[in-house]
Chains A and B, each alone.
Chain A
């Protein structure tokens, strides 16, 4: 199940802030290894690796200004950044759902020339440095961009350095997660249910709405959570395309980075909030989608 694989990545990405795909988590279906002692040549690097991944998180907890925390977290600036982050990540997820689910359907259920290439391009934002994504978005949708010029001239719409721009940047980076997750679920879903629906008189769109969509709902939900988590942690594309204006485009990760220069304690407190959100997402994924069959 690809979405499981992807979900572990998503959580890792949120924490590490980089779009890199990592290994698989196999929930439930644990194959029992032989009861022999693991050789030191494997055990030692494994433990170092574990420590490497956990130590920064522990350090964050150790250095947290626990006493001043309530005050730090209730400041207007923090709430502003947090609210903006939640709103824009949710909006980016909504955009990803509306556009990404049909795209995933197209990739999984139809055959057209160049489909492999299209899929590769869809997944490109997964591996593209987000800053590059931000520059590319500026070239496309900036005030002088290929499309942005017309948006401005015809509709008076300017995306860069607005909250809408934040949503665009986050959706650009997050949507591939959703598309990949949903496409994998679609491929795993039995297409014969759709045939059965067709023999009962359902049009192709009715089949999609009443059979396909409910069947892949868990995959869509997992993909949406992944996309949401990715959008929440988005930094590079956002700061490049939307800038860093408090209250308008300054999301949590941007606030963290900025605070680190002036007020490290506030940066730690903000990081703690994002860590809690990430853990909540991971826990939610595990309980709801990783263990259901």
Chain B
């Protein structure tokens, strides 16, 4: 696949400096009507999160990287070595599966020693190495235990140790925290972050949880329907979402339109006044907390953005209520339970929504 250069197959991703080091891939997988086309590059030491809704193709991409799903096209290079035709067992890849898939008939220690044994390491040495990994994970005392007697968090760490014990040059994690309950998750997320930070090769993790992605990854690649819709640092993506999905994930109202000075005229809706001065296609975003709701048309309000809306749905988040609105502009608004009660909000209720220009954020599309 020497002729298959990045320029030729049209992968514009150049985030990884020095193409020889790290991961450089374009994953093409076709399955029925579903088509995955994901360019992916990462430098050694970088943690990339594939973020996207269910069915976006994240797991397929991961399986293609691991060699568990055949690549329909594109290329896959790791530290300059082509891996397209390498079978899964010969790839320098470690995988942490979503439900860990620890071998139920082996102890935690033998699970971790499995990889080194397959690589030809003598039994004693493989076990010593496995014990070292378990120790590093704080699981030295669980070495002799079968997986079914491990807690979720322990099983996750054993799975991580098992994947790292083969000394992979590419570490893949499929929804590494999804199987954990909320409390364990917090703790394990912090630990996983430490281990990933210490890992010197490329790590790619797949998640549908934006928080996991933002905490664990240096860079997010957002996938929707088999394509990359956005790629960048977590903070940038949170501030400048380019799709509804991401905007909703990070809790922003997002619109696309044409900017003329301080106004962005939406493609199919009203204009929004912003503080930025732009021209041409642009995104406007504002958080739901920036929206104020009124039962009657406000008169004394200084807000430039005023729309007549109707309540579609109400949902409580902790001590706040997220209101789903439609009308002149579809948007989400957050307000306190008290405010919601005072306004007498219920599905179908008419309301006026205002947003201060200062709280909006516009950027070129």
Contacts and interface: CB of A to CB of B under 8 A. Distances in A.
A195 B66 CA distance: 10
B118 A206 contact: yes
B105 A198 contact: no
B105 A201 contact: no
A203 interface: yes
Nearest to A214: B105
Given A192-B97, A193-B101, A195-B88, A200 B68 contact: no
B104 A200 contact: no
A20 B115 CA distance: 46
A197 B68 contact: no
B114 A200 contact: yes
B interface bracket (residues with beta carbon within 8 Å of A): 20 to 34
Contacts of A204: 89
A198 B88 contact: yes
A75 interface: no
Contact of A202 (B68, B89, B105, B162): B89
Contact of B95 (A199, A211, A217): A199
Interface in B169-204: none
A58 interface: no
A200 B105 contact: no
A198 B114 contact: no
Nearest to B102: A196
A198 B90 CA distance: 8
A22 interface: no
A210 interface: yes
A215 interface: yes
B241 interface: no
A202 B88 CA distance: 9
Interface string B299-330: 00000000000000000000000000000000
B119 interface: yes
B90 A200 contact: no
Interface residues of A, number: 19
Q: Which of B68, B114, B163, B166 has the most CB of A within 10 A?
A: B114
B61 to A, nearest CB: 15
A33 B79 CA distance: 64
A217 B104 CA distance: 12
Interface string B129-141: 0000000000000
Nearest to B119: A201
A199 B105 contact: no
Given A192-B97, A199-B66, A199-B93, A215 B114 contact: no
B103 interface: yes
Contacts of A210: 114
Nearest to B68: A195
B287 to A, nearest CB: 40
Interface of B: 66-68, 87-91, 93-95, 97, 101, 103-106, 114-115, 118-119, 162-163, 166
8 contacts: A197-B114, A198-B87, A200-B118, A201-B166, A206-B118, A214-B105, A214-B106, A215-B104
Interface of A: 190, 192-193, 195-204, 206, 210-211, 214-215, 217
